[in-house]
Structure 1
Amino acid sequence: MTGRSSRLYGLALAGCCVAVILAAPSAAAAPASTVRFAEAPPPAASGAGSWLWPVSAAPAVIRQFEAPATRYAAGHRGIDLTAPGGTPVVAPADGLVSFSGTVVDRPVLSITYPGGLVSSIEPVIGTVAEGDQVLAGTVIGSVASGGHCSDSCAHFGVRLHGEYVNPLALLESLQRAVLLPLEG
């Protein structure tokens, strides 16, 4: 390249970088109120408290839901449940299989439900296909290996209108807290 074409190339590259930076949304610049992670879906829209556990009757929760501070921050966007490889996985509620396949290095199964809810369970080798209607309690696959936990757990995540929520708020066997008045 000549000196002039090299300078023009450099200016064009710098201009593109500035355009990309200005066009990209900035989580740091966004007001805190625009970045939210709901702890629990609204009961009326979600059927909160009516879902089944996706593995066994009430597995141990190995790792809890940890809402990240911002959309792109570290966190744990679901719960990890005890489930050895081969454990049957059931649909937690009536829905439509929206994905069954591999994501990066692990098999994932996602189900879409009325009201804007989507669940994902991994690692799961699905016995259902994308587009299949499933009923709560129907076996949809089995726990496989891969993912971020050992070969003895399944990760269960739920999104409400694209925002991650705590799946425990949807499960039927979870006892709700009851606040009692102070005495005396």
Structure 2
Amino acid sequence: MRPVSLLLRAVLLPALITLAPVSPAAAGDDPLGSWPLRPQPEVAARFDPPTSTYGAGHRGVDLLGHASEQVLAALPGRVTFAGTLAGLGVVVVSHGDTRTTYQPVAARVSVGDVVAEGAVIGALQPTGSHCAPRVCLHWGWLRDQTYLDPLLLVDAGPVRLLPLWRDLPAAPPPTGSWMPAPLPYARWRPVGWPA
């Protein structure tokens, strides 16, 4: 056998035997996962984090779906909760130092199950939907006790505007030189340019 294949067996075999989920990202890194509803759903309500532990806000996103639609794991991990909480069906999947939450969902998995990204974890329930009378999935993402925007997992987080000019000029123009016109805002100048 080649040394490379021996090394791969030595590294991969113990991981496959224990079935321990591999953390998709280290703390501070945003992993890339997949949508928990397919095809890509409409976002009915975006993430609006609370300003304090018990403050008002929206601790996840609401994705429009339909009753009994399959709910999928956004990232690979291990099911750490699957049951009813405050009258709602909830599934929680842990991924190393983060976990994703899905509600209202009739679980098709049990605590301890290892799930792959895209695996069916339950069916969307109409009762308890944040979007009533429509049906939607409330999808959350947490690191410890901090709520994160789950749309970052599918690269659909907040829109970031680019600066008016993509790159700063190499050097400010000499005093009295011609300035391109018209500027979008009469008094705006790139950093380093004379006023």
Q: TM-score with structure 1 length normalisation?
A: 0.69
| Contact 1:46/1:117 (<8 A) preserved | no
Partner of 2:27: 45
Distance 1:176 1:75, change over 3 A: closer
Q: Offset of 1:125 from its aligned partner?
A: 0.6
Q: How many residues align?
A: 141
Partner of 2:43: 61
Partner of 2:59: 77
Equivalent runs, 1:108-127 vs 2, <5 Å: 108-114=90-96, 116-127=97-108
Q: Offset of 1:48 from its aligned partner?
A: 2.3
2:72, 2:48 → 1: CA distance? 24
Partner of 1:18: none
1:4-37: CA deviation from partner (whole Å, max 9, x where unpaired): xxxxxxxxxxxxxxxxxxxxxxxxxxxxxxxxxx
1:152, 1:54 → 2: CA distance? 14
Partner of 1:181: 167
| 2:81 is aligned with 1:99 | yes
Task: Structure 1 unaligned segments of length 5 or more: list them.
Answer: 1-42
Larger relative contact order (C-alpha < 8 A, sep ≥ 6)? 1
State the one-letter code of the partner of 2:99: V
SS of corresponding position for 1:102: strand
Q: Offset of 1:55 from its aligned partner?
A: 0.8
- Work out which of the residue numbers 122, 129, 142 in structure 2 matches 1:141: 122
Q: TM-score with structure 2 length normalisation?
A: 0.65
Q: Offset of 1:171 from its aligned partner?
A: 1.2
Identity %: 33
State the one-letter code of the partner of 2:114: Q
1:16-74: CA deviation from partner (whole Å, max 9, x where unpaired): xxxxxxxxxxxxxxxxxxxxxxxxxxx75365251111111311000011111111111
Q: Which has the higher helix share?
A: 1
When the two chains are superposed, the root-mean-square deviation of aligned CA atoms in Å is: 2.3
State the one-letter code of the partner of 1:124: V
